[in-house]
A and B are shown apart, each in its own frame.
Chain A
Amino acid sequence: MKDIFKEIERVSCEEFKALDEFKSQGGKVAAVFCRKFPVSLLQGLGLWPLRVLSGATGHAESVGERIVRPDVCPYCKSIIGNFLEKNSIHKHVDIIVGLITCDQVRRTLERLSVDLKLPVFPVQLPATDSKESEEYYIQGVINAIQNISSYLDKEIDINAVRKDWEYRVEAAEIMAELMWKCSALPLITHRLNQLYAWARPSGFLKFIRQLVPKLPEFTPNFTVITTGSVLCNEDDTLIRILSERNVCFIPLNCTGLNMVEGLESIKEVPDNEIIAALSRINYRMPSCIRVRPNTKVYDRLAEALEKTKARGIILKTLSFCDLWYTEKERMKRSFDVPVLVYDSTYGEGDIGRASTRIETFLEALS
């Protein structure tokens, strides 16, 4: 098992080195925060697109509080904090493609733009599920790509987009299968999901193809579904406990299955429709809790419960993430299995309390 982790670590380091090299050669990095932006379009503009899921620490939160009050979601605070201190992956970021997913993210993007002077290209991701909203989103992505293209003074290379996208589709299929089949220890899956979010897709696909057959057999005691807010790399208390207890998890969240499902090939799509087609595909990826009405999230959870016979649901939310945390009662009343609601910040102080609650919940399910 250690070898697997070492292998993932090795690939991560290689990707970091490649990123450094890319930057040293004048390459530019574009950050996104949400899975619903078709990052292959950024690749087509010669950028290194990465989804920022690292730096989830109590320290970064505290730094973020220099600009916003403490009663802000830890993910948003840590983004601000990390960009302020130029930590980790954040120091490489040249532009931000800001999907407006919720009020706090919208206002975080404003802060990055105004206070940190980062070039932010905003795109509104509608919160309603309608044809008009979809079209509005597509137009928003087209505008953003045009704006970035003007900013970089570079035309989009559609062939590069196609290539990047097809790698991602294939990698996503493998990752989805891995998660649904519970083929790996939760912590392995978590690390791979994080890598998927920022590594170059060609390299990641090659790596995952080689890795999956080598994975040691994982025979979980039972299965739980995890859902809720974004799970960043360091925010892994839940994943660690699940791994220690040999429990399989079905991550129905935006850093798990929701990130890799719903992607489809664009081989048949004409060049002039590529941007719209990718935007549409991403828009139609598994629904998010923020979408109104959010019944599809509940339907998906119900289907997953049926499919996996999971014994319980863990709703992991971040403090002040209103959109997830307010669903706690509804979630408890909507399913026949026990639901654990656990909210946390990234601070150390929360870990002990959270661990006890998760362990007790898992004991009750076993």
Chain B
Amino acid sequence: MKEKPQRITSGEWETLMPKVPEEYQAQCTFLRPLVPGGVRYLFSPYEYSCRGDTLLRRLKFDSGLPSLRLWAFLFSEKDRLFLAKEKGWKIFAAMKDLGQVPIISYAVPESLTFYADELWWAPCFSEEPHLLEAAAELGATEDLCYVRAALGAYKTLDYFPKPDLSFAGVGSCCDDFSAVMQLIEWQGNPIHWWEIPTRFEESPLLKNNTFKKSPYGDSPYQESAVKFLVGQYEGIVKKLEEVTGKKISKKDLRESVKGFNRIRGLVRELRDFVYSKKRPPLPGLEMLLAEFIALHYCSEPWESILVMEDLLSMVRKRVDRGESPFKKEDPVRVFWVTPPTDAAILTLLEDLGGCVTGSEYLISHAFYPLDESKPPLEAVAENYMDDPMIGASEFRARRIVKEAKRFGAEGVMITGIFGASHCPYEERVITQAVQKKLDIPVVAFDVPYSPGKLSEQVVNRVQGFVELLRSRRGVQECVTSAVMKSNELIDTSDPFEYFRNSMAREVDYVRDEKRKGRDITGIYCEFTPRDLMLAAGSITVCLCGASQRTVAPAETVLPANLCPLIKSSFGYILTNRCPFYVISDLIVAETTCDGKKKMFEILAERKDTHVLELTQKVEEDEAFEHWFGEIKKLKKKLESKFKVKITDEKLREAIKQMNYERSLLVKAQQLGKNKPSIVSGKELSLLRYRVSGFPDHLRMLEKFIDKIEERAAGGYTFAPEHAPRVLLTGCPTAQGTEKVIEIIEESGGVVVVQEACSGIKPIEKPVSEKGDPLEAIARKFFNIPCSCMTPNKGRTDLIKRLASDFKANAVIDLVWQSCHTYNIESYFIERFVRNELELPYLKIETDYSNSDREQLRVRIQTLLEIS
């Protein structure tokens, strides 16, 4: 991780992730006072982009580790809020004041405060219009600015849990958000309303008003405004005490003021340091993120300070070394006004050879210190008098002029928002002030909501502006840059690349289908008959459960000694991180093991969940009848839930479709039979996608097979003839948890086949297309030889066949920690492999973390040596 700073894509970050030192990852934890040791959060933007935050595919990120930490800290805000709520902490939403209420509310222990306003970013970050659609259904339509997304978020609770109380500042507030906040209350959210006074401009006409100046911002204000504001803040304190049952002392408030002074000081220092450099040591996007942290610690007072210190330390080092992520020695210096609706504009500006050299994102008051010599509420109130939003447009224009001059801006870019009540007034005032006082160019334009790609108009404006600024330096050149699109991350001509990024495609597909009215069914296990769901017209999605990231949050509710698959799955639910779960209409679960079974009970409290009871003594005569009964019940459930009739004809059609998909998957898996190997186990594991019946997947599956055959015809082999051929059995490995496969293949072996549910086991047999289709479905799934069955002779039979067909030299039995059924069954598997197959056998018990990678490597290499 000592590469020179650069601006990289989310995909490039992903490739760098394995190089992130374990000790650094361990440092990055949040909510330490709530969860012993804290919860790790350092994951790459790529992971978030795959899970639906598609805008990230269009951005470029700073390559420094502290920048990654900053991004991950921002992304994990949602996790913190859901987790803290789950654990009984109070969650407060502040709205509109931008940097005031949190100073008061963080005086309350065991609580977090976030800004619902910042959700206006959400449509940009996720490019997912569902928040805007939800808001529109309630009356907040396109004529309002994007703050309306907050209403959608309150409605869907996709981005934050229901707050215990929301604080809404009105009065000297934009009309858009005042209207949105009222609708939020209408929807049953408790709100404490408080009044924001207007700051008047000092004028000879107002000689009977007493004017003072704010201690640090030097902003003139009428004294009565601060007195009134202190009263309003006392009301907020009283309300907080009422809701939490805790007394808030002056000392608590003073401590909170100190804490905010610390974070504000760091942000201020960072701004002064970065924006004043000719070649800034940090890109504009990271600066934008950092500036917003000053408002409310990004919902975490403890870690946010460390994040900022880390970032500051990195930029200092860069300056000392003369390093910068900007290639050009002298990027044109642009001062930015109003945060852009589409963050990709910042990337575009920098791609074109510009840089951000100062900003006025309507939060500049939050960079001034709070006067610790004053009573705390008075200090907060005085600071609010520095807010550019509560007074005249001229006030804001003066601040912009001052800051743009201080940082040596060559131009000012104002990115407005159509429908916002302040933009149509401020634009001209700011433009005239900058031109008159600084004589530098100004460009002002609205940024439309344009998911997937920056609007051409915006691109042209930015390009033209950069050209103009360069021409003022005497450089005449035409600047252009390729504008990244959300879907460009995935190369659809390359099946490997396609399946590597299949999740992002799936998220888009499922959301689109949902919008068209399709029902979504979430599942967790191969026993769940996808054919039946397909016949009901529903899309079946295997829900997320393969990330170490969500294990820690889950452990705050579930016992730690559960398998990582259960914990990760539940962690995704707890933090609302699985994009498919959020839009699923129904969850179909099953009683494979005790851990899952009980976890599903908790899940059922949150979403409609139907549990299939698995018959576990498959060899007994009554077993199938029972299972068939369960399948019939599921059919009824689907019919009533989705209001459809599942006819035999629909079932037959669905079986046919699913059989085709299974046949393609089997065909692909069987490529592993070749010796020498023409495909790697890692490549085959890419086919563990989540959405069944997705036409693009089927097309690409065919291409995948053709590609492998084609390259084999060209003489390609993945490994030499003598490379040890491993049959992997045991627990399933989903995308993101393939470390054992990776280690085997990095060590010279080849995973020729996976017997597990993530391999050939659930797909090798089709559903019979003859007879009663429902019974045929029941029979196919009844025969999956899972370790939850007793006895489970089918597994050894399958291993025997696969070992022979795929010419395996060794068997590795993967057991996720605390998976009792596979763990115990290893006793039989080991005996069978060693005695009957006479092959080397290695049992690996591990979890999703990478901490034991090297230990595993040694053990696997030893096995491969003797194979």
Chain A positions within 8 Å of B, measured between CB atoms, are 67-72, 100, 102-104, 106-108, 110-111, 113-114, 119-122, 124, 126-128, 130, 132-133, 136, 139-140, 143, 146-147, 150-151, 290, 292-294, 319-323, 325-330
Collect the chain B residues with CB atoms within 8 Å of residue A68's CB.
424-425, 428
Q: Is B695 interfacial (CB 8 A cutoff)?
A: no
24 A-B residue contacts at CB 8 Å?
A: A69-B424, A69-B427, A104-B421, A106-B198, A107-B425, A110-B201, A110-B394, A114-B392, A121-B206, A122-B198, A127-B170, A127-B178, A130-B235, A132-B235, A136-B195, A136-B224, A139-B224, A143-B209, A292-B193, A320-B421, A322-B179, A323-B178, A326-B183, A330-B186
How far does the alpha carbon of A236 sit from the alpha carbon of B118 in the complex, in Å? 40
The residue of chain A having its C-beta at the shortest distance from the C-beta of B194 within the complex is A128
- Could you tell me if B193 and A128 are in contact, using CB atoms closer than 8 angstroms? yes
The residue of chain A having its C-beta at the shortest distance from the C-beta of B395 within the complex is A110
Return the contact of B139 from the options A122, A132, A328 (Cβ within 8 A).
Answer: A328
- Could you tell me if A71 and B424 are in contact, using CB atoms closer than 8 angstroms? yes
How far does the alpha carbon of A322 sit from the alpha carbon of B144 in the complex, in Å? 7
How far does the alpha carbon of A68 sit from the alpha carbon of B429 in the complex, in Å? 9
Collect the chain B residues with CB atoms within 8 Å of residue A323's CB.
175, 178-179
- Could you tell me if B207 and A150 are in contact, using CB atoms closer than 8 angstroms? yes
Collect the chain A residues with CB atoms within 8 Å of residue B424's CB.
68-72
Shortest C-beta distance, B120 to chain A (Å), equals 14
How far does the alpha carbon of A293 sit from the alpha carbon of B178 in the complex, in Å? 10
Also in contact, A292 and B394, with CB within 8 A (given A67-B428, A147-B208, A326-B139): no
Collect the chain B residues with CB atoms within 8 Å of residue A121's CB.
205-206
How far does the alpha carbon of A72 sit from the alpha carbon of B418 in the complex, in Å? 10
Collect the chain B residues with CB atoms within 8 Å of residue A320's CB.
143, 419, 421
The residue of chain B having its C-beta at the shortest distance from the C-beta of A136 within the complex is B228
How far does the alpha carbon of A124 sit from the alpha carbon of B173 in the complex, in Å? 12
How far does the alpha carbon of A326 sit from the alpha carbon of B179 in the complex, in Å? 6
Q: Is B200 interfacial (CB 8 A cutoff)?
A: yes
The residue of chain B having its C-beta at the shortest distance from the C-beta of A325 within the complex is B143
5 further A-B contacts with Cβ under 8 Å, apart from A108-B425, A133-B195, A143-B224, are A69-B423, A106-B172, A127-B171, A292-B193, A322-B178
Return the contact of B206 from the options A69, A147, A330 (Cβ within 8 A).
Answer: A147
Shortest C-beta distance, A78 to chain B (Å), equals 14
Of residues A121, A292, A319, which shows the largest number of chain B Cβ atoms within 10 Å of its Cβ?
A292
The residue of chain A having its C-beta at the shortest distance from the C-beta of B148 within the complex is A326
How far does the alpha carbon of A328 sit from the alpha carbon of B232 in the complex, in Å? 30
Q: Is B133 interfacial (CB 8 A cutoff)?
A: no
Also in contact, A293 and B193, with CB within 8 A (given A136-B228, A322-B144): yes
- Could you tell me if A126 and B171 are in contact, using CB atoms closer than 8 angstroms? yes
Return the contact of A329 from the options B138, B143, B171 (Cβ within 8 A).
Answer: B138
Collect the chain A residues with CB atoms within 8 Å of residue B205's CB.
119-121, 147, 151
- Could you tell me if B421 and A322 are in contact, using CB atoms closer than 8 angstroms? yes
- Could you tell me if A136 and B139 are in contact, using CB atoms closer than 8 angstroms? no
How far does the alpha carbon of A104 sit from the alpha carbon of B261 in the complex, in Å? 33
Collect the chain A residues with CB atoms within 8 Å of residue B392's CB.
110, 114
Shortest C-beta distance, A138 to chain B (Å), equals 11
- Could you tell me if B175 and A103 are in contact, using CB atoms closer than 8 angstroms? yes
- Could you tell me if A100 and B198 are in contact, using CB atoms closer than 8 angstroms? yes
- Could you tell me if A292 and B178 are in contact, using CB atoms closer than 8 angstroms? yes
Collect the chain A residues with CB atoms within 8 Å of residue B173's CB.
103, 127
- Could you tell me if A124 and B171 are in contact, using CB atoms closer than 8 angstroms? yes
Q: Is B180 interfacial (CB 8 A cutoff)?
A: yes
Collect the chain B residues with CB atoms within 8 Å of residue A119's CB.
205
- Could you tell me if B143 and A322 are in contact, using CB atoms closer than 8 angstroms? yes
Also in contact, A147 and B207, with CB within 8 A (given A69-B423, A328-B139): yes
Collect the chain B residues with CB atoms within 8 Å of residue A322's CB.
143-144, 175-176, 178-179, 419, 421
- Could you tell me if A150 and B208 are in contact, using CB atoms closer than 8 angstroms? yes
- Could you tell me if B208 and A143 are in contact, using CB atoms closer than 8 angstroms? yes
Q: Is B393 interfacial (CB 8 A cutoff)?
A: yes
Q: Is B263 interfacial (CB 8 A cutoff)?
A: no
Shortest C-beta distance, B116 to chain A (Å), equals 15
Shortest C-beta distance, B11 to chain A (Å), equals 38
- Could you tell me if A326 and B144 are in contact, using CB atoms closer than 8 angstroms? yes
How far does the alpha carbon of A67 sit from the alpha carbon of B180 in the complex, in Å? 27
How far does the alpha carbon of A140 sit from the alpha carbon of B179 in the complex, in Å? 25
